[in-house]
C-alpha cells in the first residue's frame, strides 16, 4: 500500500530555512504544505522555486489555517520557544533548529507543552549523522575507548562582520545569545552526549574582532558528570575562512581526533584492538552560504530519521528529542554563567 506523505510546514525562509525547504522537496516521503516568513520577498522566492507552495507572512495565521504533521521552526533563537509551544498547543509535532532555546527554563516549557499535548518535539542535531561522529560514537558505546579521561574541542572559524550585519538578530545578546548558542552548540551537543552533563566549568571570553554585543571568542575548562575533563576553544575571528572544527577524545584504551573544518574527517585513530576500517567514505558536505561555511549539511538525514520515527512510532538517538536537546542548552548556560 502506498504510504501517506508526512506533511511539513516551515517557518523561517532564511539561510538554513532554504535548505530545510530544499531537503523536504527532495524527500519522496515528505510534502511541504506551507512556508512562512515575515519577509514576503523570501516567501515568494521559495514558493516560486517549489511549485507555488502556499505561503504566509504571519506564523499565527499559518498554524491556525493549515493541516500538517510537523512544523519546522527555523527562525532566530529567541523565537524558538514561543513558536514551538504555539505549534504544540495546536497539536502539531515540532522540529526546531538548534539551539533548542535560549534558556533551560524555556526548554522545560517546550518539553512540558509536548507532553501535555502528546506531540513530539525534536531538535536539529545533524552532526550526529556525520560519518566520523557515528564511528566515534560506536567505539564509545562498545566500550572500546574505556574510560574517557579528556576531550578537547576547537571551533576555530571565520564569520565576517557582514554575517552579523545581514540578519538583525545575530550578535545580539537577547536574540542570538552568542557564539556558544550558534556555532559551538553543534559541538557541545556531542560533548555532553559522550561525556555527560557539565558539572563544573571555568570560562574566559571576549569580543575581539567584531562589532557585536556577544562574545566572538572564548575558552572554557570543563568537568563532566562522567568524570571526564575537557577544554573548549571557540572563535569566529579566524582570518579569511574556517580553519578547524574538531574534537579529540582521550580514552583509557584509545585516542580519536575528529577534525576537518566541520567534524568531517578522522584525523587520528588509535584504539586498542579496534582499528579504523579501511575504505570508509567520508561523504559529509558542509552547509555553504556563499561567503561562509557552517557544519555538515546532513539535514536530509534528520528529516529521514524523523519520518521513520513517526512511521514506526519509535525512539531514535539520532532523532533528538526535547529532553536530550535541553542538555546542550544547560551546558551553554553553565559555560556563560562561569565567564569572567
Ligand atoms: N543546523 C545548522 O547547521 C544551522 C545552520 C544555520 C542556522 N541554523 C539555525 O537556524 C535558525 C535560523 O538561522 P538562519 O541562519 O537561517 O537565520 P536567518 O536570519 O538567515 O533567517 C531567519 C529567518 O526567519 C525569519 N523570521 C524572523 N522572525 C520571524 C517571524 N516572527 N515569523 C516568521 N519568520 C520570521 C526572518 O525573516 C529570516 O528570513 C537559527 O536557530 C540558527 O541557529 C542551523
Distance, in Å, from the CA atom of 127 to the CA atom of 149, rounded to the nearest integer, reads 23
State pTM to two decimals: 0.96
Strand pairing of 148-156 and 70-73?
unpaired
325 in ligand 1 pocket by Cβ < 6 Å? no
Phi, psi of 210 (to 5 degrees): -135, 155
* Residue of 161 and 319 predicted with greater confidence: 161
- The string of pLDDT tens digits covering residues 171-204 is 999 999 999 999 999 999 999 999 999 999 999 9
97 in ligand 1 pocket by Cβ < 6 Å? yes
Query: What confidence category does residue 146 fall into, taking pLDDT thresholds of 50, 70 and 90?
Result: very high
Cell of 292: 561562509
The distance of Cα 10 from the centroid of its chain, to the nearest Å, equals: 16
Mean pLDDT of the chain: 95
Strand pairing of 293-296 and 286-288?
antiparallel
126 in ligand 1 pocket by Cβ < 6 Å? yes
182 in ligand 1 pocket by Cβ < 6 Å? yes
Distance, in Å, from the CA atom of 70 to the CA atom of 119, rounded to the nearest integer, reads 10
Which domains are assigned to the chain?
6-126 (3.40.50.720), 127-293+322-337 (3.30.360.10)
Ligand 1: residue whose CA is nearest its atom 33: 37
Q: Candidates 23, 62, 76, 84: which one to mutate for ligand 1, based on the most atoms within 8 Å of Cβ?
A: 76
Amino acid at each position: 500500500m502506498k504510504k501517506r506523505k508526512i506533511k511539513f510546514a516551515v517557518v523561517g525562509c532564511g539561510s538554513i530555512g532554504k535548505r530545510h525547504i530544499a531537503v523536504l522537496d527532495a524527500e519522496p516521503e515528505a510534502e511541504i504544505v506551507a512556508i512562512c516568513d515575515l519577509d514576503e520577498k523570501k516567501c515568494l522566492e521559495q514558493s516560486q522555486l517549489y511549485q507555488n507552495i502556499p505561503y504566509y507572512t504571519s506564523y499565527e495565521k499559518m498554524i491556525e489555517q493549515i493541516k500538517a504533521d510537523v512544523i519546522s521552526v527555523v527562525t532566530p533563537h529567541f523565537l524558538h520557544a514561543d513558536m514551538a509551544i504555539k505549534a504544540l498547543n495546536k497539536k502539531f509535532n515540532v522540529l526546531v533548529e538548534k539551539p533548542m532555546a535560549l534558556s533551560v527554563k524555556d526548554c522545560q516549557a517546550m518539553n512540558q507543552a509536548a507532553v501535555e499535548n502528546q506531540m513530539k518535539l525534536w531538535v536539529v542535531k545533524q552532526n550526529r549523522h556525520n560519518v566520523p561522529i557515528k564511528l566515534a560514537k560506536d567505539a564509545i558505546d562498545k566500550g572500546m575507548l574505556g574510560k574517557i579521561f579528556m576531550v578537547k574541542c576547537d571551533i576555530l572559524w571565520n564569520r565576517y562582520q557582514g554575517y552579523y550585519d545581514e540578519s538583525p538578530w545575530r550578535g545580539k545578546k537577547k536574540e542570538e545569545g552568542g557564539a556558544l548558542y550558534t556555532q559551538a552548540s553543534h559541538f557541545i551537543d556531542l560533548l555532553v552526549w559522550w561525556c555527560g552533563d557539565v558539572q563544573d566549568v571555568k570560562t574566559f571570553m571576549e569580543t575581539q574582532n567584531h562589532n557585536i554585543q556577544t562574545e566572538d571568542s572564548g575558552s572554557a575548562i570543563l568537568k563532566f558528570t562522567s568524570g571526564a575533563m575537557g577544554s573548549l576553544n571557540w572563535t569566529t575571528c579566524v582570518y579569511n575562512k574556517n580553519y578547524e572544527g574538531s574534537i579529540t577524545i582521550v580514552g583509557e584504551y584509545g585516542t580519536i581526533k575528529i577534525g576537518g573544518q566541520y567534524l568531517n574527517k578522522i584525523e587520528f585513530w588509535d584504539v586498542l584492538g579496534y582499528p579504523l576500517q579501511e575504505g570508509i567514505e567520508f561523504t559529509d558536505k558542509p552547509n555553504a552560504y556563499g561567503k561562509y561555511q557552517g557544519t555538515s549539511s546532513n539535514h536530509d538525514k534528520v528529516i529521514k530519521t524523523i519520518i521513520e520515527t513517526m512511521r514506526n512510532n519509535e525512539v531514535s538517538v539520532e532523532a533528538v528529542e526535547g529532553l536530550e536537546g535541553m542538555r546542550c542548552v544547560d551546558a551553554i548556560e553553565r559555560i556563560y554563567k562561569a565567564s569572567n
